[in-house]
Structures are given as C-alpha cells and as structure tokens.
Amino acid sequence: MEGEFVMGKTALLIIDMQNDFCLPGAPFEVKGALAVATQIKKAMDAGRSYGLPIVHIIRHYRADGIDVEITRFRAFIENGGALIEGTKGAEIIDELKPVIGEYIVIKKRWSAFFQTELDILLRRLNVNRIVVTGVQTPNCIRATVWDANSLDYEVTVLTDGTGAMSPEVHQANLIDMQNIGIELMTTEEFITYLHNLQK
C-alpha cells in the first residue's frame, strides 16, 4: 500500500445503501447492490472492531421533489417519489444499520461533501484518509472521491465494496479513479491490512 492507515485517522464511508437504491424493484435500484452490501458488511464489521469512525451517508428528498436534482426529477415523479425522509425506502438496508456512536450524514446531491457537514466532521475527528464503499460507482462514489481528492484526503476505494449498474461501468470508473492516484483495494485486502497493523 502506498498510504498508511492510522487508527483514529481513517474513516469508513458507506454511501447510499438505502432500500430505494438497493432492494430489487426499488425506484432507483442499482443492480447488484445487495451483493456489494455483503462486502460492505465485512468492511464495516472490521472497521468497528478496529475502532474506525463509520460514516453512513444517505440521501433524503422532500416529498414534493423540490430538492431533487434537475436531472433526476422526472424519474422521481414517474416513480411516485423515492428516498423521502421518514419512509421505509429512505432507510438504510437492514444488513448495514448504524449502531450507537456511528455518524449519519444526509446529502442532497451526488457528492457526500457537497453542502454537507462531512468535511468538518472528518476534520474534527482528525481523519486524513477515507475508505469509500457504497453505490453507485459512476455517480455518488466518483463525485465523493473527486471532492475528497480536491480536499486533500487520502482515498481508498474498495473495488468489491462499490458497485454500478453494470460491471463494465464499474470497472471503467475504477480505472479513472486509479489514474488520478486513488488507491484501489478489495475488502479482504483492507481487512488483512487492518489485522496486520495489530500484530
């Protein structure tokens, strides 16, 4: 690994793992999201056991759609709404529910950093490296990674802990991120590295 994971200075980000993105037939379903969830659960359990801050980043919209992205508004209306605060669809999937002490950041746009408190939260936690998981790779993952890079965070993306609508789109975006210096790891490589730090 090029970078160093430092306990207390690395945070695990879990992005958009909500029912309306992940469940079969959901309004904004990302195919394969539940398979990605299995890997995220492994990373999350490891992060918890090693004391990493866990940040669940979710999307909430108002019921009338006034705060939906202009490019997603039509789909929001045609689907009868989605990701509306207080609904089952907006909840984090059962496998990845937060526990006491973990953080929830609500975003309105693709990037987890855009007009949210994520940056100040991470800096208050003295975090300088983030490990990114969730869906989907070309949109919210990529936008978050680009902003994190611009804000001078070290970034690792878990290749099997992120996913897109197709393997080809996923892989193309991973290559683009790697080409700007983002570190790619599998979930098992991440867990092994955390384990080795304790030896």
Instruction: Grade residue 4 by pLDDT with cuts at 50, 70 and 90.
Output: low
Q: Which residues contact 157 (CB under 8 A, 6 or more apart)?
A: 131, 132, 141, 145, 174, 177, 182, 183, 184, 185
Q: Is this model's pTM higher than 0.85 or not?
A: yes
What is the rounded distance in angstroms from the CA atom of residue 141 to the CA atom of residue 111? 7
pLDDT tens-place string over residues 105-154:
999 999 999 999 999 999 999 999 999 999 999 999 999 999 999 999 99
Q: How much is the average pLDDT of 37-63?
A: 96
Q: Kindly list the structural domains of the chain, giving each domain's residue range(s) and its CATH number in brackets, ordered by start.
A: 10-197 (3.40.50.850)
pLDDT at 6 over 70: no
pLDDT tens-place string over residues 121-131:
999 999 999 99
